[in-house]
Amino acid sequence: MTKAPETIAFTDGRLVLIDQTRLPGELVTLECNTVEQTHDAIRRLVVRGAPAIGIAAAYGVLLARPSDAIGPDREVYLRAIDFLATSRPTAVNLFWALDRMKSVIERTPDVQLHDALLVEAVTIHNEDRQMCQSIGRHGASLLGDCRSVLTHCNAGGLATSMWGTALAPIYQLHQSGHEIKVFADETRPLLQGARLTAWELSQAGIPVTVLTDSMAGSLLRTGTIDAVIVGADRIAANGDVANKIGTYPLAVLASYHRIPFYVAAPSSTFDLALQCGDLIPIEQRDRSEVAQPQGIRVVPDLAEVINPAFDITPAELVTAIITERGVIESPNCERIARHLDGR
């Protein structure tokens, strides 16, 4: 089996994360011993990708246990949950994981609380590994005839606990001996495609080519690309998808060139409380990410900058959504509801 990086580990009461801000220059880990350190790691993108954020936050709750307390203090845990929920606004897996931890607090006696929270966090982590494998299998059935695919941002092992979402079918096909090449948008302004996707695919021995975001249209026009596959940070009830900024124009280009556009995400990424993508909160990030990448000033001080982390791709541009449960062709409210209900 192709082994992706171990993005998250929880050992001896410590949360250990691959510091993704340091890749590809160096592979180092960051140790979190407090809730505040976990919040900062999520906010600074040390750990990123909707599933990985949820796992890290679940373990982060455990770091709230008072070291000098005789027994667990549920109010401390609840305050930790509320604080961690403020780290990033768009990725719904963060709130899904924290809601699961809150449910444990609500139904568990004080004396058993810490152990029960640990079991739940480990369960979330293990479910994510199973999710990656299942998405890999379902997605491989759609990409089985593809020789070249295009992806945006990073939705691989670094964004989850194993194979990822959008990259899971790639790993599955590679493992089975199918030759497939990946083209990775660099993904401005933080270059997650160039720094992270290209790094982890290279580590796995999967051919990968990096292109600037503005090259995608010309590449699609050549007929080189057989399919586009991306991840998601939140999916509304009607199938509108929030993903890394630049996903929407890529979907428009894929539609124009009649190339399948697939979204891969776990069922926990759906937010059925939001009817459409216009209701999804979009994180606005710091000016410096655009104006001073890697500390180099490229925008004049008097010029304004806009820096949304995500955009919304309408459901009508999505060929299919791949989850751990299967495939939703031409997603809409009815098909999504039926899929999530297991019918």
Query: What are the structure tokens assigned to 219, written together?
Result: 């590449």
Those residues with Cβ within 8 angstroms of residue 30's Cβ, 6 or more apart along the chain or in another chain: 16, 17, 18, 19, 41, 46
Of the residues 233, 240, 271, 311, which is catalytic?
A: 233
Catalytic, 82? Answer no
Burial of residue 243 (number of CB atoms within 10 Å: 0-12, 13-18, 19+): buried
Beta-sheet strand order (sheet of 234-236): 270-271, 234-236, 241-244, 310-313
DSSP string over 43-87: HTTSS-SHHHHHHHHHHHHHTTS-TT-SS--HHHHHHHHHHHTTS
59 contacts 47 by C-beta, under 8 angstroms: no
Catalytic residues: 233
